[in-house]
């Protein structure tokens, strides 16, 4: 990732165990009929986490994170949403 404003949605940026867990979650969602689930963010650098933490505090906008020490930084977390994405990574079974 080259910019603190760039969102990473790449599963391969997660640790192998997290990649497996993410894929299993998507498979279970698909089996349950939730087919429009998508990743909104995976890995975050320390700098990006600080940038997001500042939002709603020292930078304009709504607060989007409650911590400077997110599991995103350790490549163990991902965020998902359900809806009609246009440009985000969709799960394909």
Helices assigned H by DSSP within the chain: 16-31, 46-54
Q: Quick check: is 56 in a domain?
A: no
Q: In the chain, how many domains are there?
A: 1
Residue at 17 is within a domain: yes
Which domain, by its residues, includes 39? 11-45+71-82
d(CA 55, CA 2) in angstroms, rounded, equals: 19
Burial class for 52, CB neighbours closer than 10 Å (0-12, 13-18, 19+): buried
- The token duo for 79 is 């965020």
Residue 39 lies in a domain: yes
pLDDT, one tens digit per residue, over 42-73 is 999 999 999 999 999 999 999 999 999 999 99
User: Is 37 contained in some domain?
Assistant: yes
pTM equals 0.82
Tell me if 55 is assigned to some domain: no
Percent of the chain at pLDDT exceeding 90: 76
């Amino acid at each position: 990732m080259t910019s603190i404003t760039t969102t990473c949605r790449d599963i391969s940026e997660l640790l192998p165990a997290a990649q497996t867990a993410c894929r299993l979650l998507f498979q279970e969602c698909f089996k349950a009929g939730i087919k429009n689930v998508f990743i909104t963010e995976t890995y975050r650098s320390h700098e990006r986490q600080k940038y997001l933490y500042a939002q709603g505090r020292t930078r304009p906008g709504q607060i989007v994170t409650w911590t400077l020490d997110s599991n995103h930084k350790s490549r163990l977390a991902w965020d998902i949403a359900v809806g009609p994405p246009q440009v985000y990574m969709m799960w394909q079974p």
